[in-house]
Each structure stands twice: as C-alpha cells, then as structure tokens.
Amino acid sequence: MNRIIAIDGPAAAGKGTLARRLAAHFALPYLDTGLLYRAVGRRVLDAGHNPSDPVAAEAAARAITPDDTQRSDLRGPVADEAASAVAAVPGVRAALLDFQRRFGGANGAVLDGRDIGTVVFPDAAAKLFVTASPEARGLRRYRELLGRNTAADLATVTAEIRARDAIDASRAAAPLKSAEDAILLDTTELDADQVFARALALLPGFA
C-alpha cells in the first residue's frame, strides 16, 4: 500500500488544518497544493501578464520552485483570483502534476487540493472529501481575516467563496469534485479537534 493521503474539497472547508494534523500524526510530509496555484498566479502577475493567458501561465508553472510557495503575498483577494484563473489552464495543471507526483511519490505524503484523489493520485491509499456549507466556510474565512487584522465583510466573503466554488467546479480541466471512492467528511458542525478525530476514525487501515 502506498502512503498517500489525498484530501480534496472546496475553499475554507478545513482541509489544510486537517491535512497538517494528519501529516504530523503519521510523520508524513505535507503539501498544500493550493499554494502552487497561488505561486503560479503571482509569478504571472509579476511578469506583467494576465493569469488567464495560457502561454504566460504555463511558462510560470514550469518555472515554479518550492521557494515560490514560501512567498508572503499568496493570500488575499488578488492572489485568490489569480490562482483560480491559472488553475483553469490545462498546461498549468499538467506542469504542476509532475511537481505534486514527485513530492508524494517517494515516501508518501498528505496533499490537499481539489483534484488530488481524482487526478494527481487516483490510487491514493486514503481519500477524504472535506466539505462544509458555504455559510460555515464564509464565517471561518471571515474570522481568519479578522484574526489577521484584515477588514472584511461576512456577506462579501461568503459571496466570494460561492463564486470561487462555481469557478472551480465548472472549469473543464480537473473540476472540483469528489473521487468516487473518497470518504465524505462534512465539517459544518465540527471544530478542528472533532474533524481530526473523525478523520482518524475513517482511516482505520492507514498506518
């Protein structure tokens, strides 16, 4: 059995927190694949191009290095929008596929994203699809922004989450959807500790 845990789901569902805790628990490396798309979006903007331009976006994806994911400007509405745009470019997804498979291939890993269980590691030993209602996700993102002293409006944040869901789920290239063999974990009513406990209970065969 491989040691890949694939965690997919929409924005602000609690994937990252869960993935980080599972990685620590099983002593596996962790990759937040959303950061790769965010870093590609930033590179395209730095070069003065439009993130929807397929040639510029693919060139940026081919040039990406692990250091790019450490940039301090990968969060916020501009990075969100640029990431969502480059994520719809098939050439970007192909370039990042190699990166992600190399990351997980050798000794296993926990990866979170939108297409880990469907495209990147369809044979992952464990697959979770983590979701929550748009209202719950909007509230979490809103609190996160306030925690970072960023002014935010709950209705606007929730509307942006819904808009990104629609873009991620309707794009032709690797749309957001659960793998058929993924286990659904709805976190609407759960806090981070409960989500972690539930996930461990759902992965009994994983060690």
User: Can you give the binding site for ligand DC, defined by CB under 6 A?
Assistant: 11, 33-34, 37-38, 83-84, 87, 113-115, 164, 168
Q: How far is the CB of 175 from ligand DC (least distance, A)?
A: 9
Nearer to ligand DC, 89 or 199 (CB): 89
Residue 171 to residues 10, 29, 81, 101, Cα–Cα distance (Å):
14, 29, 14, 22
The structure tokens listed for 185 are 């974990």
Report how far Cα 68 is from the mean position of its chain's Cα atoms.
16
Q: Where are the beta strands (DSSP E) in the chain?
A: 4-8, 30-32, 109-113, 126-131, 183-186
Starting at the earlier edge strand, list the strands of the sheet with 4-8.
Answer: 30-32, 109-113, 4-8, 126-131, 183-186
Nearer to ligand DC, 159 or 197 (CB): 159
Q: How far is the CB of 122 from ligand DC (least distance, A)?
A: 13
Nearer to ligand DC, 59 or 86 (CB): 86
Nearer to ligand DC, 58 or 115 (CB): 115
The number of helix segments (H) and strand segments (E) in the chain equals 8, 5
Q: How far is the CB of 207 from ligand DC (least distance, A)?
A: 25
Q: How far is the CB of 34 from ligand DC (least distance, A)?
A: 2
Q: How far is the CB of 171 from ligand DC (least distance, A)?
A: 8
Nearer to ligand DC, 72 or 201 (CB): 72
SS3 130: strand
Taken in order 153, 159, 165, 168, the sign of the CA dihedral is: negative
